[in-house]
Structure 1
Amino acid sequence: MDWRRCLQDGQDFREADLSGAVLRDASFSRAKLAGAKLAGVEGPDVRFTSADLTGADLSGAVLRGADFTRATLRDASLAGADLRQARFFRADLRGANLQGAELGAADLSGAMLGGALWVDGQRRCAAASVGACERE
């Protein structure tokens, strides 16, 4: 599926299987993607601003420069995802799996990380972690 530069703002994709889709420069602002399968998507510069990605599977996705500002990613899997230069300003990543994810130059300002499995696969972020993964 090739949705490059498509506008999907506010659309309902709950539980949808979008695995392997091309989402480069697409916009999913305020979209409902809870439980969606987005494993292996190619989505550099995709916008998920204020989207609900609760429990979504984004494992192995290429999301360099993606915008997750104020997005909900509770219990989502971002394992092995390329998140370099992604923006997670005030995003909710509580309980998310970040094992093996690449976060180089990612903006985690204000991101809630409590209970998230950190990139090393060993450490869980303390419940009060905001903006950085603090040890419990």
Structure 2
Amino acid sequence: MSAEGLDFLGADLSGGPFGRSSFRHANLADTAVRGVELWRANCEGARFIRAVLTDADFVKACLHRASFVRAVLIGADLTRVEGSDVRFVEADLRRADLTDAMLVGCDFTRANMSGVRVDKTVLDNSILVGAVLTGMTGTVFGPVMSAPGHRLDGHELEQWFAARGAHVSVLRPAYL
């Protein structure tokens, strides 16, 4: 299905089977998209602002430059997603799965990431200023921005996660 550039403002797309669909530059602000399947969907530049995406399946989706500002992604499966410059500002990602996700330069400012699972998750230069990290578990590749203009990686990043109630180990790339 191709929904490129379409406006779904306020629509209810819950439970829809949209695997391999294209929502490039679509407006999905204020939509209800509970339990939707967006497996391998192209969501580049899509606007999910304030969308309710509880238990959504984004496995292997392309999220480059998408916006999830204040979106509800509780229990969402974001395994192996790829995204650069994605905005998760004030998003609710509680219990989401970010296993093997590649998230570069993304903004998680004040996002609720309680109970999030990470495993070999790349958060390279992503912003975690004010994010709630209690109960986050797993492994990540950094560095991350912990405060404006302040990057952390390695042991310092592990300590920073621990101070916020997360149990996260920081991995080092094999090529170093």
TM-score (norm 2): 0.64
Cα distance in 1 for partners of 2:62, 2:165 equals 30
For the pair 1:119 / 2:169, whether they are aligned, the reply is yes
Structure 1 equivalent of residue 141 of structure 2: 102
Stretches of structure 1 that go unaligned for 5 or more consecutive residues are 122-136
Note the aligned Cα RMSD (angstroms): 1.8
**Structure (1 or 2) with the larger CA radius of gyration:** 2
TM-score (norm 1): 0.81
Pick the aligned partner of 1:57 from 77, 97, 100: 97
Stretches of structure 2 that go unaligned for 5 or more consecutive residues are 1-40, 149-159, 172-176
Alignment of 1:70-89 (within 5 A): 70-89=110-129
Residue 119 of structure 2 aligns with an amino acid whose one-letter code is A
Cα distance in 2 for partners of 1:19, 1:97 equals 19
Larger strand proportion, structure 1 or 2?
2
Identical positions, percent: 34
Count of residues in correspondence between the two structures = 119
Larger helix proportion, structure 1 or 2?
2
Deviation at residue 120 of structure 1 after TM alignment: 4.8
For the pair 1:37 / 2:77, whether they are aligned, the reply is yes
Cα distance in 2 for partners of 1:109, 1:98 equals 22
Q: Is the 8 A contact 2:141 2:170 kept in 1?
A: no
Deviation at residue 98 of structure 1 after TM alignment: 3.7
Cα distance in 1 for partners of 2:89, 2:170 equals 27
